[in-house]
Structure 1
């Protein structure tokens, strides 16, 4: 179609299809709300912290910067070891083989802040009680196994994950998802109007004629229906 759609015609089409525009947006937001409220599975997160500190054999009254720097360099190594099959296999055994190592690796996240000797072990699970159990089991297993792996003992648990009973899910983020649904609804609505306008080849109102062609409409010729009283009376008069 070689016809160009200018801004004036687009605005006129939006005004004519305003109810379609509002309806598509409302349906999109409502669909997302129903999904979040009744279909989506809430995901909870529980975390525990472990500290990489001086080894017992090297502790002294004064902590030099070289020792602290060495501990900081070990943090990245420890983060990798926590997610290794050796640790996850032990966690799997501790949990009674309820999850395989691939599932545990997907649930467990290991993070550490820059220049920090603290490692955060976070677990995401639909059950917050199970998430806390997995996080504590991972931290405990790592603390017990690291002396055998690296022949050192410089890891302590700072805090354990606790189940409180009033946890708030971290996923899905309802406000963000509803905002994205509203934005998607606006895009779908305008796309619908644009496509409808693209294939529209007729002028359906006097307003369109005046707006698009710049002409003044002097009058309209209405189509007579079969049951039109005037037409029926006229036919009877002919007879």
Structure 2
């Protein structure tokens, strides 16, 4: 506590600078990210020539659920991505860029599959999600020779979409905590490296001498008070010797 009290200004200065810097960085570098998603259902695998004659059973449902893993990989391949680029040039995205912003997930071991897209613009994310879903539905019959994809829900326009990465002060608190630990380490290091003599104990331990007398430090306020109350002699003022540090 003595060390911290003596160098408290260092700790406060480091913490304040780190906190303000992080807060300003978060404010001016925050970029909202929006997400739009569609949902499709994978039905029983039906060959094109048998379309309309199919029957649903538990075995076919389990097979459809396992088939989703295959569709997750197919949807990211150039067979789908290149078709999206060709049919929707207004998106201005390459197949590689499309593959990076698309996320495909199955919902709790069901036949429902979610295709979500993240982008700095909600409108663009919506357009990409709908475009990929539409191309995926039309291309699967050509790739797998089956027609078992139905669109349940397309991404819809919103007046005030909410970003998925809302502003958070978590990084500010983390920065302040790390700065506090760093400042405490610096203070302890400075104290460890300081080899000056500060007390009577330091002198006796370092030099091996006994203390005979000490001159206390007098503050300016105490010195002024002493001058105002000092006695006067008949021949004049009494002279005082002062020592200032």
Q: Say yes or no: TM over 0.5.
A: yes
CA offset at residue 173 of structure 1?
5.1
Is structure 2 residue 70 aligned with structure 1 residue 80? no
Aligned counterpart, 1:111: 105
Cα distance, 1:142–1:21 mapped onto 2, change above 3 Å: same
Aligned counterpart, 1:41: 31
Asked whether the 8 Å contact 1:44–1:169 carries over to 2, the reply is yes
TM-score (norm 2): 0.72
Deviation readout 1:45-92 (Å, 9 max, x if unpaired) = 2222111122463633xx321101110110100111111111111222
Aligned counterpart, 2:43: 53
Aligned pair count reads 210
Q: 1:139 aligns with which of 88, 110, 133?
A: 133
Asked whether the 8 Å contact 2:22–2:175 carries over to 1, the reply is yes
For residues 194 and 104 of structure 1, the distance between their equivalents in structure 2, rounded to whole angstroms, comes to: 52
The within-5 A match list for 1:152-167 is 152-167=146-161
Larger CA Rg, structure 1 vs 2: 2
For residues 34 and 163 of structure 2, the distance between their equivalents in structure 1, rounded to whole angstroms, comes to: 4
Tell me whether 78-87 or 180-189 shows the greater mean CA deviation.
Answer: 180-189
Aligned counterpart, 1:16: 6
Is structure 2 residue 123 aligned with structure 1 residue 129? yes
Aligned counterpart, 1:120: 114
Asked whether the 8 Å contact 1:36–1:172 carries over to 2, the reply is no
Deviation readout 1:149-198 (Å, 9 max, x if unpaired) = 10111111222222313223223652332333233223332233233233
Asked whether the 8 Å contact 2:34–2:122 carries over to 1, the reply is yes
Aligned counterpart, 1:3: none
CA offset at residue 221 of structure 1?
4.5
The within-5 A match list for 1:55-74 is 55=45, 57=51, 59-60=54-55, 63-74=56-67
Gaps of 5+ in 2: 203-212, 228-238
Asked whether the 8 Å contact 2:45–2:64 carries over to 1, the reply is no
Gaps of 5+ in 1: 1-10, 210-217
